[in-house]
Amino acid sequence: ERQPEQHAFEADVSRLLHMMVHSVYSDKDVFLRELISNAADACEKLRYESISRPQLSTDGAQPEIRVTLNDEASTLVVEDNGIGMSRDEMIDALGTIARSGTRAFMERLEAAKAGEKAELIGQFGVGFYSSFMVADKVDVISRRAGEEQAWKWSSDGKGSYEIVAVDLSEAPVTGTRVVLHLMDDAKKYTSKWTVEKIIRDQSGHVPVPIRLAEKEGAEASQVTDGAALWTKPKSEISKQDYDDFYRGVSGQYDEPLTNIHFRAEGRHEYTALAFIPGSQPFDLFDADRHGRMKLYVKRVFITDEAELLPRYLRFVRGIVDTSDLPLNISREMIQDSPILAAIRKGVTSRVLTALEKMGEGDAETFGKFWDLFGAIVKEGIYDDFERRSQLLKLSRFRSTASNEATRSLADYLRDMKEGQSAIYYITGLSLDQLNASPQLEGFRAKGIEVLLLTDSVDSFWTTNARDFEGKPFKSITQGLSDLDDIAGNDEGGGDKHEASPEVAAFIDFARGFLGQEVADVRVSGRLTESAVCLVASEHGPDRQLEKILQGAGR
Ligand code: ADP
Ligand code: MG
């Protein structure tokens, strides 16, 4: 009978372990992600080592990760056919926190073959211990590729672990089997439905196929196929592949309008695959409206809360996968990471450039896009000072020249009248209301285009977007009209008219009658049919914004 060797964890490990299990990850589901990513690492390592030592991969078996549940025994098993661990490697890798076997492997790798990069997931030695968030005992049975002896490591994750040699019949042919004896409050991890969902959500794009069996001996069904779509060259990806991937990643069932798939190299290395949806996501106008782009580190899902795009692009769905960040990056690190800030900037630029190109080359698709998401993009004119002119250039408007939202500001500038120096607009609730507005009469008479803005965001960006290519935005419901200065095709006029004595008398009467209700009563040439119209003062909110602010109780 073999006697297990008792080992105490390296000094501080148990303290660290306690801290880590209770604070590093708030979401317990991630233990599975950690085990799966270790298993995938192990498969990648074997893949790499058997390049130089083909005898290691004995039967040429395809790399595979198998998850087996056992409701009665209350266990969850993660098994791989990867590189495995020798006794010393177990002591080294599982008894020590600060030193990660993966990191040692990486160092060796770099020393051996500069330039060659195996795709190794973790770089920090904390992942494995997350098993103790859900298990009160963990067994690791492993046989290193090319070795005759298999070993079993067991621990309750408190102060010590033991190691014992086991018969080959009890071990994987090569590779590692991790057995979690689940705590009472972690029983849900024996439910196939639950575990399958976690695997799909967290590890759906791990580069090794994952199979799941409901109980020991039961047939294992494939949950993921091990292919990370975004790593393939574009030429090998069909539209169907992209669409399926989009549906998986977005949880939406429509057909995306387009995708933006690129690999950034140089200072930062990442791959992005982003989609412009073909319909409005249901939560587009939610108060809690952040984006849903997923962050991967070396194909391991990290979070969908990394705000990889600004809020005004929150409808974009997809992933960013980078090799520049550690796998166990925390929320705080994500918020402050300069690497992520650079990635965010890069992805934002690429998305906007792609949309610009679409606007130039494919008016029909762009029109669909703008109808769906234009109102969201315009939030950026208000929010994102740096990209304001780019966003204005992207924007399309309805106007007195076209009641479809197809007019760009470039179109507007091109068609300006001689002597016209401003971009005129009017904001309101609906196109009908605006089209009927008396303020438009003089502009129509002179053939001067006026933008008809009906989204509530329009009342906001027009307050801080001063101009486009040097031409100021000017509300026609505000201040004096300068129609007199513009050469038009009719006799509509501005506000610089002399009042006749009769009119002057009427104005005096009106001022007295309306009293505090209005700031002033003036003669205007901006009307051609109506007798009067209301105008807001030159400075301060325009009429529509006044209404919105009143509605908001301000
Ligand atoms: P990391 O993956 O960041 O290195 P972990 O705590 O997740 O840290 O794992 C510690 C080490 O244990 C790994 O680096 C690896 O050497 C070893 N290990 C864990 N799981 C496996 C496995 N399934 N196969 C082979 N080695 C493993
Ligand atoms: Mg790991």
Higher-pLDDT residue of 471 and 506 is: 471
CA of 103 to the centre of ligand 1 (A): 10
Residue bearing tokens 């071990």: 171
Atom 20 of ligand 1, nearest CA residue: 38
Per DSSP, the residues of 503-515 read HHHHHHHHHHHHG
Beta carbons of 199 and 32 less than 8 angstroms apart: yes
Q: What is the pLDDT of residue 124?
A: 36
Tokens of 320: 């960013």
Burial degree of 510 (CB within 10 A; 0-12, 13-18, 19+): middle
Is ligand 1 within 6 A of the CB of residue 94?
yes
Cβ neighbours of residue 71 closer than 8 Å, sequence gap 6 or more: 190, 191, 215
Atom 15 of ligand 1, nearest CA residue: 101
CA of 35 to the centre of ligand 1 (A): 8
Q: What is the pLDDT of residue 554?
A: 45
Q: Tell me phi and psi for residue 419, to 5 degrees.
A: 85, -10
The per-residue pLDDT for range 41-91, each reduced to its tens digit, is: 898 788 767 767 878 876 668 899 999 999 999 999 999 999 999 999 999
**What does the pLDDT average to over 488-504?**
65
For residue 143, count other CB atoms closer than 10 A to its CB.
23
CA of 554 to the centre of ligand 2 (A): 53
The per-residue pLDDT for range 129-183, each reduced to its tens digit, is: 889 889 999 999 999 999 999 999 999 988 789 999 999 999 998 999 999 999 9
Is ligand 1 within 6 A of the CB of residue 172?
no
Residue among 102, 155, 161 to mutate when testing ligand 1 (max atoms within 8 A of CB) = 102
Beta carbons of 160 and 91 less than 8 angstroms apart: no
Is ligand 1 within 6 A of the CB of residue 359?
no
Is ligand 1 within 6 A of the CB of residue 300?
no
Is ligand 1 within 6 A of the CB of residue 85?
yes
Residue bearing tokens 């770089």: 123
Residue bearing tokens 């975004």: 230
Higher-pLDDT residue of 215 and 531 is: 215
Taking the model in full, what pTM does it have?
Answer: 0.64
Beta carbons of 131 and 311 less than 8 angstroms apart: no
Label residue 422 by pLDDT band (50, 70, 90). very high
CA of 114 to the centre of ligand 2 (A): 23
Q: What is the number of the ligand closest to the CA of 102? A: 1
The percentage of residues in the chain with a pLDDT greater than 70, rounded to a whole number, is 81
The per-residue pLDDT for range 132-147, each reduced to its tens digit, is: 889 999 999 999 999 9
Atom 2 of ligand 1, nearest CA residue: 122
Beta carbons of 477 and 450 less than 8 angstroms apart: no
CA of 39 to the centre of ligand 2 (A): 8
Is ligand 1 within 6 A of the CB of residue 125?
yes
Label residue 101 by pLDDT band (50, 70, 90). very low
Tokens of 92: 């080294």
Atom 18 of ligand 1, nearest CA residue: 38
In this predicted structure, the answer to whether residue 13 has a pLDDT above a threshold of 60 is no
Question: Is 128 annotated as contributing to ligand binding?
Answer: yes
CA of 126 to the centre of ligand 2 (A): 7
CA proximity to 310, closest of 392, 395, 391: 391
